[in-house]
Each structure stands twice: as C-alpha cells, then as structure tokens.
Amino acid sequence: MTTQLTLQVLADHFVSEAPAGAGAPAGVVLGLSFQGQRTIVASGLASLRDRRPMTVDTAHDLASVTKVVGTTAALMRLISGGALSLDTKVASVLPLFAGDGGTTIRDLLQHQAGLWEWQPLYLAPDITDGAEAVLNGIAPRYPLRSGRHYSDLGFMYLGLVLEAVTGRSLGDALNELVFAPLGMLRTSFLKRSGSSAVLPAPAMAASSLGDRAERTMVMTGEPYPVRWSEPRFQWREQELVGEVNDGNCYHAFHGVAGHAGLFSTADDLLSFAEALSSPSPSTELCSADVASMFFTPSSEPMQALGFRRMSIDIRGTQHPLLWHPGFTGCAVGFVPSMGLGITLASNRLLTDAAPVATISLWERLVDVAADLYSSTTDTRTP
C-alpha cells in the first residue's frame, strides 16, 4: 500500500470512528514528509454549518501548536543571534513580571516557572487595563523550579518578551524571524478586527462550537480553580470560523498571543517540521548548537525547551520525536537529523459528544508513520 493510500485510509477512519464514549472529528488533514517528499491527505468536513469538505489546503486554528511553531522557533532564532540567552531573567526584559525574580527564559520554556496553568484573564475586573496588566497581577501558583506545570501564562509572557526584545508586534516578529525565512506563506494570526487576505474565511476549518469548553471550565472550576466569574459575560455560541478558539487569545489579547492564535495549513506545518528535522547541522532558524539545546530533555524527560518529547520506533531503533499538540486537534512533530516530519490538523471540537483526545489521533498517526518508514527498503521514500 502506498503512503498516500495508507494515510487516506487513516484519515477516513478518524472521521468515521472514534473510541468508545468519544465523538469523531468532523474532518482531518494528515501530513507526512520524509527528506522533502510530502504526502498530505484530507477527509471529512471543514465546517458543519455549511458542510464544506475538508481539503489539503484548508487552514486550521493551531491553538497551542502556536507555542512551538511561533514562539519557541522565534526564540531559537534570537538566541542563535545573541539577542537573548536561555539564562536571561524574564524580569530584566519585563520589569513587571509577576513570577519569581530568578525566573529565566529557560524556566518558561520548560514550564518550570511555577506560574498558573490557566486563568480566564478576560473575566478580570481590570481587563480594560489590558491583558498584560492582568497577567502581571497573578502571583505564581508553585515555587520556581518545583516541577513541570504546563502553563499558558508562561507562553503569554514569552510572547511579550519577543515583542520587547524585537521592538515589533508579535505577528510581525514571528513573520520576520520564522515564517518568511521558512516560506510559511499561509501562517499568521487573525486579529479580532477582521479577516486576513492571507487566510480568507472560506479556506478555513471551523475550530469549535463557540466558547463551550472554557465556559465549562469557568463554571466548574475544573481542571483549575478560577479567580474570577462573570455571569453576564457574552460567551460565543456560534461555530467559530476565522476566530481563534482560545478565549484568552481572542477576548483578552485580541487574537495575537504567544500561547495560541496562529492559523496555518498542513503544508506550512511540514515546512516547519522539515527545517527542524533537516540532516544538515544548521537551519534557517538556528545554529546546530542551539537546536541541540532546545531538543534535549529537561529534568522532566518528556519535556524539552518548548517542545514535548516522545519516542518513535524506526526499524527497531528508538528515535526522539519532538512535537506539540493543540487543544483544537492539531499537532506537529519531527525527528531531528532524519528529515522526518509529521502533522495532524483536525476540528475535533465540532461534536456534541466528548471530543476524541488530540493525543489519541496523534499517537495513531505516529505509529502509522513509523510503520511506513520501517517497511520501506528505499531510503528516499517513507
């Protein structure tokens, strides 16, 4: 069976079946790249409202994949150029930083800064002062370096660091440092004030049914207790197309933030994966030394700098797979120095049932990629 057919069968399976008790995603796009040769397939629907079919060119709300494709990659570029160091103290760049004064860029990237995992900044009484002001008023939840606590707030701060160091808006900084050099022409933020010529709404997948997930988090206090509650808040109810799903990004940061907000296509995500999986010692983004630092596990073996780590078995040998998921059902990953990139884009939240977990889709895709590469005797194609 060819790579194209194998991936198509998997994509069709994802939208037609789901684990017991879960709802299947309305549509998916799967991508695989090996040494520059790409295979991308699509299945299902981009939108339930107008029944648009998903295509290989459909753009998706990346959610937390923004953390690596945008924020982490830009930091790699700046650190390679000497504008920042992993040991730069956050407070030296952002004097009003609410965390421990010893917190470094490294701590934020490793989710070791002790910051809260999540809070609905948009419900804060002083949100009219701006999201950064609210963020600076939230004291840490844990001691510095007391363990890995995955934090959206930490990457909000990293987005602000990028703006402060470059003197540019975050969108401009990411485009100049990452997207333009890698040829990622369909990757951008979409501001609340309107759509983008780069990513017209008809070419986008719907991401969710309004603010349903975050509204439940606020009402229940699960999985994190919340500081504020506003019963009169105008939650979004409609199917979201061209509006970022993440509430803090949309309602508090107006669509542009370091932790979420980017929209992109499978093709662009594979361009990113190819650059960081290149067998060459350096990439357009960074030096080989900086790449090695970012890919190395922290004190938590499954966490590197920004990226998560897992293993992929290729012909009986375990290789590190650097990756990151997004809440909307997207993920991107790559195997350093092997030229192997993998991407998943789905709208898993478009269901009235409990959505299938992103990790469930991702692990199956990784297994298929491993089988495809392991079964070939031709090193040029997976």
pLDDT one-digit tens code per residue, 194-205: 444 345 555 899
CB atoms within 10 A of CB 134: 24
- DSSP type of residue 357: P
Structure tokens belonging to residue 109: 């990237």
Residue 382 to residues 2, 29, 339, 351, 378, Cα–Cα distance (Å): 9, 18, 11, 33, 8
Confidence class of residue 238 from pLDDT cuts 50, 70 and 90?
very high
Contact 357, 371 (CB under 8 A): no
For residue range 99-147, what is the model confidence (pLDDT) as tens digits? 999 999 999 999 999 999 999 999 999 999 999 999 999 999 999 999 9
In this predicted structure, what is the pLDDT of residue 373?
87
pLDDT of 374 above 90: no
Closest to 50 (Cα-Cα) out of 242, 241, 287, 322: 241
Distance, CA of 37 to CA of 216 (rounded, Å) = 42
380, pLDDT greater than 70? no
Contact 270/33 with Cβ under 8 angstroms?
yes
Q: Is 6:382 a contact under the CB 8 Å cutoff?
A: no
Non-local (6+) Cβ contacts of 276 within 8 A are 283, 285, 291, 322, 334, 336
Nearest to 29 by CA among 18, 49, 50, 15: 15
Q: What integer best gives the mean pLDDT of the chain?
A: 93
pLDDT-derived band at 23, boundaries 50, 70, 90: very high
Q: Per the omega criterion (within 30 degrees of 0), is the bond before 223 cis?
A: yes
Contact yes or no for 163/259 (Cβ under 8 A): no
Q: What is the pLDDT of residue 196?
A: 42
Query: Is a pLDDT exceeding 80 seen at residue 40?
Result: yes
User: Which tens digits make up the pLDDT trace of 145-178?
Assistant: 999 999 999 999 999 999 999 999 999 999 999 9
Q: Which residues pair with 60 in a beta bridge?
A: 264
